[in-house]
Amino acid sequence: MLKKEIISVDQIGSNSLDIYKYTIDQGNPGPTVYIQASVHGAELQGNLVIKNLINTLKSKVVFGKIVLIPLANPFASSQKIGTYTFGRFNPVTGDNWNRNYHDVAKKEKEGTIGYIDFKKFVNENQSNSVEEIKYNFKSTLKDTLQKFRETQDSFGISDNKDLFTTLQLLASEADIVLDLHTGPIATRYLYAPQYLKEKSKDLNFPFTLLIDHEFAGAMDEATFYPWVRLKEELEIAGIAFENTFESYTVELGSEEIIDSKAADIDTANILNFLKARSVINESATIDKTAQVFCHISDYQTYRATRSGLCEYLIAPGMSFKKGDLLMRIYQFDNLDLEVEKQQHDILAVTDGIVINHNHSSNIKKGMDLLQCFKA
C-alpha cells in the first residue's frame, strides 16, 4: 500500500512550501527504512532514484515500512541564479543546508530539554530485551526532538532548525537511513560510519569514505550518533547491545543533472541492499563492483593557490600517482611572457583516486578544487 502525505515545511510570502512523504507499508513485520533526496537543492539524481524505487516497490512484497521523500528541501531547489541552482547553502543565513540537524546526543547538554538523558534511559531499560530497548529508544528520539521544537516556539524556530528537525522527526522511527546526495562533478561514493564498513558493502558502491563516530551536523551523523552513544552507555552499565542501526550519505554522481540509465543502476543497488536487509525478497540484476575504502583522515582536498581558469585533468573515479599533473591554472595578466609563466601546474602530493572536483573552472585563490582518496 502506497500512501502520500503533504507536509508544509516553509513559507514564501503567503504560500506554503511542501514536501511529499510517500510511505510503503503492507503491514508485514520488518525494519523501517527512510530515504530522502535533494536536501541540497542542486543535487537531483536521488529524486529519480526515489521515483524508480516507488514504481518498483509498489508491486513487490515489502517487509516493514519504507518512507521516501523526494525534493526534501523545496526552498533550496527553487533558488535559481540564471540557469544555476544555488542549492548548497541557505541564501538567507549562508549555512550549508546539510550541517543544520540537531544533535540530540550532545554530551554537554545531556538531560536538558531537547537532549537525551542516556543514563536515565539506561536505568529505565536495564531489564528490557534488546528489541524493547530499540523500540523505547526510537520513542525517546522522537519525544526529544518534539520537545526541542517546543522550546523554540516562544521566540520562533530558526529557518534552518525548522526544516531539519522536521526531517529528523520523520526519520526517528527508522532502522536504516539513506540520505541521497551528489557531489559537484563526482563519481559515486558513500559516507559511512566506521562501524558500518562491512555492512556498507551491500550497497555496491565503488568508493566509501569512513567517518568517525561523532556529530558534525549532517543527516547521517544526526541519525547514527545517538545509537552509537546508546551502545556506549549500555556497555558501561554492563548490558550487551549490538548496534544494528544503519545510516549512509549516498553520493550519486554530479549535481545539476539527472541520468535515467545511471538511475537504473543506482536503484538496482539499493534494491539489492534492501534484499540483503530482508525488506524485499527479490534481487535486482547488478554488476558487482570493486570497492575501495578510505578513512576521513586520508580524504585530501586540493585548493587553488592562485586565481584564474582551472583545467581538471583527471576525471572522478580515476587513480593517479604522486607527481602526476592533476590540474592546470591559467592566468591572463602575463600573456606577454613565456608559455610556462602563463600557467601553474598542480601536481599530486601522494598517490590517490579523484572523488570529486569543483563544477566551475572559474576559480579564486583558496577555493576547494578537488577531493581525493589518499592511496
314 with 326: CB under 8 angstroms? yes
Q: Are residues 277 and 233 in the same domain?
A: yes
Which of 43, 47, 75, 87 has its CA nearest to residue 181? 43
Q: Are residues 201 and 142 in the same domain?
A: yes
Q: How many residues does the chain have?
A: 375
3 with 25: CB under 8 angstroms? yes
CATH number reported for the structural domain that contains residue 251 in this entry: 3.40.630.10
Q: Are residues 214 and 258 in the same domain?
A: yes
Q: Are residues 314 and 254 in the same domain?
A: no
Q: Are residues 169 and 267 in the same domain?
A: yes
Question: Can you give the pTM of this predicted structure?
Answer: 0.97
Last residue of a domain, one of 240, 255, 290: 290
The whole-angstrom separation of Cα 300 and Cα 348 is 11
Q: Are residues 96 and 44 in the same domain?
A: yes
Q: Are residues 251 and 307 in the same domain?
A: no
DSSP type of residue 273:
H
Which of 130, 106, 115, 102 has its CA nearest to residue 231? 130
Q: Are residues 219 and 107 in the same domain?
A: yes
For residue 221, what is its C-alpha cell? 551523523
Would you list the DSSP string of 222-266? HHHHHHHHHHHHHHHTT-------EEEEEEEEETT---HHHHHHH
Q: What is the pLDDT of residues 107-151, one digit of tens each?
A: 999 999 999 999 999 999 999 999 999 999 999 999 999 999 999
Would you list the DSSP string of 293-325? EEEGGGEEEEE-SS-EEEEE-S-TT-EE-TT-E
Would you list the DSSP string of 38-52? -SSTT--HHHHHHHH
**For residue 298, what are the contacts with CB-CB under 8 A and spacing of at least 6?**
373, 374
**Domain housing 102:** 2-290
Q: Are residues 359 and 210 in the same domain?
A: no
Q: Are residues 330 and 210 in the same domain?
A: no
Q: Are residues 13 and 155 in the same domain?
A: yes
User: Cα separations (Å) of 271 from 126, 265, 345?
Assistant: 36, 10, 43
Torsion of CA 250, 251, 256, 259, to 10 degrees: -80
The whole-angstrom separation of Cα 359 and Cα 310 is 10
The per-type count for the chain, helices as H runs and strands as E runs, is 8, 20
Last residue of a domain, one of 256, 290, 324: 290
Judged on CB neighbours under 10 Å (0-12, 13-18, 19+), 149 is: middle
For residue 198, what is its C-alpha cell? 562491512
Q: In this predicted structure, what is the pLDDT of residue 261?
A: 98
The whole-angstrom separation of Cα 250 and Cα 248 is 6
Last residue of a domain, one of 264, 290, 316: 290
Number of structural domains found in the chain: 2
CATH number reported for the structural domain that contains residue 322 in this entry: 2.40.50.100
pLDDT in tens, the chain (375 residues): 899 999 999 988 889 999 999 999 999 999 999 999 999 999 999 999 999 999 999 999 999 999 999 999 999 999 999 999 998 999 999 999 999 999 999 999 999 999 999 999 999 999 999 999 999 999 999 999 999 999 987 888 888 899 999 999 999 999 999 999 999 999 999 999 999 999 999 999 999 999 999 999 999 999 999 999 999 999 999 999 999 999 999 999 999 999 999 999 999 999 999 999 999 998 888 999 999 999 999 999 999 999 999 999 999 999 999 999 999 999 999 888 888 888 999 999 999 999 999 999 999 999 999 999 998
Which of 317, 303, 304 has its CA nearest to residue 352? 317
The whole-angstrom separation of Cα 355 and Cα 184 is 10
Q: Are residues 259 and 124 in the same domain?
A: yes
